A and B are shown apart, each in its own frame.
Chain A
Amino acid sequence: MITFDNVTKRYPGSHEALTNVSFSINDGELVYVTGHSGAGKSTLLKLMAAIERPTNGAVIINQQNIAKLKSSSLPFVRRNIGMVFQDHKLLFDRNCYHNVALPLAINGIIGAEAGKRIRAALDKVGLLSKEKAMPITLSGGEQQRLAIARAVVSRPSILIADEPTGNLDRDYATDIMQLFGAFQQVGVTVIVATHDALGKVSPQDKVLKLGHGRLIDTEVKI
């Protein structure tokens, strides 16, 4: 469960990126975060991923208040969160297999168990046949799927994606959104920041709409 309680985030020397934001996300929900560019979507995701800490308020992830945790404890919170970055952040000096292996190595999972999980994750996103390919040889959609495989390989309870379909054409974007839906079906809490989510939202999905750093609407589609 993720809870934001009156959260404000202000970057040094800058304006408030988020102001008094409060909401809750239950386990296994699929949540879209929408809003115009600069609305605070990325900041919200960084707070959820324990990459940033709030200036005021409480961000509670799996019963842990990020604001009060020691810096040395934050990496252990992040390990339970799969993050798909807007720019993918793939490592172009190694092949697909070794890109996906990184979170497992961080979690101390190596050897045969790691190999099994890496291939399962690549299979899930349809890239098993390209495990030895270098990321540079992949299309935009394949790179995005590789980033998703890396995010889910350590079986996180929360999956966060920042504009995962931003640079993809409609067919690829549909594939990617279906993948997120599949992860939600197996109990993963999925949070997707997107410009144009509403067209793809299922009736039971939640939408957090941001505007100028404030939560405009928390809407549960029925």
Chain B
Amino acid sequence: MSAWLAQHLQVFKQVLHRCSQDFSHTLLISLVIGITLTLPVLGYVLIQNLSDLTGKAHQEAQISVFLRADLAEETISGIRHKLETHPAVRSVKFVSKEQALEQLESSFSDATLIESLQHNPLPDAFQIEPDSLDTVKLGQLKTQLGNLDGVQEVVLDTDWLNRINSLVLLAKRILWLVAGLFGLLLITVISNTVRMQIMSQRDEIELSQLIGATAAFTRRPFLYLGWLYGLLGGLLSIAISVLIVYIFNRSIAPLAAAYQSDFFLNYPDLYIAITICLIAAAIGLFSAYFSATRYISKSIG
């Protein structure tokens, strides 16, 4: 086992040595892979940020239950009890017509407009935080609340959220498609690079096979090479993505400030960074295996 590990370690060292000897070529190939991967990574970062935004909006989603104006205190208490014990309702807040008028007054700069009203036209209401944000369940809850005695109107405005969710879903599918295409592009780039490397080491490969090297032995350095290219490309793509997000955030900050917003894009997190590097390394390994198996088998005889 230790001999097996030592052999792998030696091959890995040889590959590192060769890569360092031809550093500019290694960097160039890794950059090609890194830039190719950057687009899907940035796409993912954007979609992730958009999903976070819609998620927050969902968290703030509330149902307003407006009551009829002529309800007695006991009826309102009865409705409150029904709402508080409803399994699909997380929390209930009563907003009296007086509180609603105060909120309205505070939102207007010209208070005389409100004072000119002869009576308070606003109804008593309950603001409900639903237990589930599932649009189907929300629809069902809205119907049930609308059927309660004394309820005038139930307002649930989630249509715009549903539209954004649909767009995010569409963007995610497009991203998968793009990522798949770029994955194929990476396989082509790495396969071709490994093929060129095999061609440049053809004499060594042929000699090795003539004096007893197995296919696995001959293939091994190229597998390490493909894996290394993929890993370096993955790391570079993360670095490039972080740099782009940093530049974007710096550029957007004055605009966000002008709109009194603290909007900024989140950086790719560690989970994404590790996942991208692993996927890139796996693509590199697969491409190298494909190329080495195909071209090395032809070299002897």
* Chain B residue with Cβ nearest A51: B210
Are B210 and A83 in touch, CB under 8 angstroms? yes
Measured between beta carbons, the chain B residues less than 8 angstroms from A110 are 6-7, 10
* Chain A residue with Cβ nearest B4: A108
CB within 8 A of A111: which of B6, B207, B211?
B6
Task: State in angstroms the CA–CA spacing of A102 and B218 once bound together.
Answer: 12
- With A105-B10, A110-B10 known as contacts, the answer to whether A89 contacts B207 (CB < 8 A) is yes
B188 at the A interface (CB under 8 A): no
* Chain B residue with Cβ nearest A53: B301
A76 at the B interface (CB under 8 A): yes
Q: List 12 A-B contacts (CB under 8 A).
A: A51-B300, A72-B215, A76-B214, A77-B212, A89-B203, A89-B206, A89-B207, A89-B210, A105-B7, A106-B211, A108-B3, A150-B211
Are A79 and B10 in touch, CB under 8 angstroms? no
Interface-central residue, A49, A52, A110, A150, by most chain B CB under 10 Å = A110
Are B211 and A79 in touch, CB under 8 angstroms? yes
Are A102 and B207 in touch, CB under 8 angstroms? yes
Are A75 and B207 in touch, CB under 8 angstroms? no
Chain A interface size, under 10 / 10 to 19 / 20 to 34 / 35 or more? 20 to 34
Chain B interface size, under 10 / 10 to 19 / 20 to 34 / 35 or more? 20 to 34
A155 at the B interface (CB under 8 A): no
Task: State in angstroms the CA–CA spacing of A129 and B57 once bound together.
Answer: 78
Task: State in angstroms the CA–CA spacing of A81 and B217 once bound together.
Answer: 18
Task: State in angstroms the CA–CA spacing of A91 and B211 once bound together.
Answer: 14
Interface positions of B (Cβ within 8 A of A): 3-4, 6-7, 10, 203-204, 206-215, 217, 300-301
Measured between beta carbons, the chain B residues less than 8 angstroms from A93 are 204
Task: State in angstroms the CA–CA spacing of A52 and B301 once bound together.
Answer: 8
Task: State in angstroms the CA–CA spacing of A103 and B204 once bound together.
Answer: 11
CB within 8 A of A106: which of B4, B217, B300, B301?
B217
Measured between beta carbons, the chain A residues less than 8 angstroms from B212 are 75-79, 81, 103, 106-107
Measured between beta carbons, the chain A residues less than 8 angstroms from B210 are 49, 51, 78, 83, 85, 89
- With A51-B210, A72-B214, A102-B208 known as contacts, the answer to whether A91 contacts B7 (CB < 8 A) is no
Task: State in angstroms the CA–CA spacing of A77 and B212 once bound together.
Answer: 7
Task: Give chain B nearest CB distance to A165 CB in angstroms.
Answer: 21
* Chain B residue with Cβ nearest A78: B212
Task: State in angstroms the CA–CA spacing of A85 and B206 once bound together.
Answer: 12
Measured between beta carbons, the chain B residues less than 8 angstroms from A49 are 210
Are B209 and A108 in touch, CB under 8 angstroms? no
Measured between beta carbons, the chain A residues less than 8 angstroms from B206 are 89
Are B204 and A91 in touch, CB under 8 angstroms? yes
A101-138 to B contact mask, C-beta < 8 Å, 1/0: 01101111011000000000000000000000000000
Measured between beta carbons, the chain B residues less than 8 angstroms from A83 are 210-211
Task: Give chain B nearest CB distance to A21 CB in angstroms.
Answer: 20
Which residues of A from 46 to 69 have beta carbons under 8 Å from B?
A: 49, 51-52
